[in-house]
Amino acid sequence: MVWPSSRVSLLREASATAANSVSIVAPIYNEAANLPVLWERLSAVLKTLGRDWEVIFVDDGSSDASLRILRELTEREPRVKVVELARNFGQHSAILAGFRQSRGEVVVTLDADLQNPPEEIPRLLEAIDAGNDVVGGWRANRQDRAFRRLASRWHNRVTSLIVGVPMHDYGCMLRAYRRHIVDTVVQCDEKAAFIPALAASFAKRVAEIPVAHDQRIAGESKYNFLGLAKLSLNLITGFSLAPVQFVSLLGILIALIDTAFAGFLLLHRLLYGPQQEGALWTLFAVLFFFVGFLFLALGLIGEYVGRIYQEVRHRPTYVVRTVHESDADRAGRG
Ligand code: UDP
Ligand code: MG
């Protein structure tokens, strides 16, 4: 069959945009003062992409004018969608909600406070086009307080270790993900997800590119020390049983030290005969042994609870992307 030429180019265009489409997901919590500038800069960048795009703003229970501003935007802009959450659920839950609504082949997340310049989006997309499943921004010149930067360095080391994918900057939310990664993350439906780590754990090819980082334009950071600590703890317990295993190891260590101590007591008695405080020390040795045993028992129980936790979390142990087979096989089954 011969297609009329105009028809062919139309079809080709349609499939090109479908494979190229990009969704931007931005969580919003009381960012009214930043939204107009954000939209201005973001939309300017998106219009130059030459791809099909949509923007999903997730209002994470804002109490300022954010939601009103966003809703006004949806009336003017058909490509903008606003997901209104019932209350403040936190940045990562908000992004998860945005992921669920997104339809693009590539999903880019960014903060709404313009610390992540939207002008970097084309470079992220380039790296995705080069064949990466996940592309992370790396804030080489980070504009945060010294304490935040130091905490972040440790955070990245620990995260790299437990996720098994080394990255310089897990905290940077200017990131791009391919559709199959987004779908897997959504499917996990985790209660305390740390999205960059979860996504990296499902990716085959991960890249990191240096991106600019600015100071917040208006408003202030939504994270205090406690919030950051909570996020880190979530991450560690979400990815490993290391804390309980540490308790078991501690128990074994205490029992070992105690055995050495008991040996020393015995030797002392044999060499120098019974001492006045001998009974007391023996009691100590016995006590220590039981303390070590208790730690070990606690760790073992923790290990079992941890395994149950891993099971109920329903995180996929593997993800099949495609099953490749010859046409003959497929026909035989069909
Ligand atoms: N955010 C959110 N819910 C929250 C906290 C933050 O949606 O409970 C959003 C916030 O509006 C911003 C992004 O997450 O778009 C990053 O927050 P923030 O700039 O406060 O974090 P920081 O840059 O200090 O790490
Ligand atoms: Mg910020």
| Residue-wise pLDDT tens digits, 43-89 | 999 999 999 999 999 999 999 999 999 999 999 999 999 999 999 99
Residue-level pLDDT at 41: 97
Mutate to test the pocket of ligand 1, among 115, 144, 222, 228 (most ligand atoms within 8 A of CB): 222
Q: Strand ranges (DSSP E) for 140-222?
A: 175-178, 206-211
Contact 151, 230 (CB under 8 A): no
CA of 128 to the centre of ligand 2 (A): 24
**For ligand 1, atom 19: residue with the closest CA:** 221
pLDDT tens, position by position, 259-306: 999 999 999 999 998 888 888 888 888 898 889 889 889 888 988 998
Please say whether the beta carbons of 58 and 126 come within 8 A: no
Ligand 1: residue whose CA is nearest its atom 21: 221
Q: Measured in angstroms, how far is the CA atom of residue 28 from the centroid of ligand 1?
A: 7
Residue-level pLDDT at 6: 44
pLDDT for the residue 50: 93
Task: Determine the distance separating the centroid of ligand 1 and the alpha carbon of 55, expressed in angstroms.
Answer: 17
- C-alpha dist (Å) from residue 164 to 12, 136, 197: 40, 15, 9
pLDDT of residue 332: 66
CA nearest to 286, candidates 309, 264, 255, 317 = 255
Residues in the chain where the model's pLDDT stays below 50 = 1-18
| Rounded-to-integer distance, Cα 2 and Cα 163, Å | 52
**CB under 6 Å to ligand 1: residues?**
27-29, 31, 60, 88, 90-91, 94, 111-113, 115, 221-223
**CA–CA separation, 245 and 237 (whole Å):** 12
Ligand 1 atom at minimal distance to the Cα of residue 221 = 20
pTM equals: 0.82
8 Å CB contact between 19 and 54:
no
225-239 helix and 146-163 helix, angle to the nearest 10 degrees: 10
Smallest Cα–Cα separation from 103: which of 131, 135, 79, 76? 79
- Ligand 2 centroid to Cα of residue 274, in Å, is 68
Cβ count within 10 A of residue 251? 20
Q: Ligand 1: which of 28, 29, 232 to mutate, judged by most atoms within 8 Å of the beta carbon?
A: 29
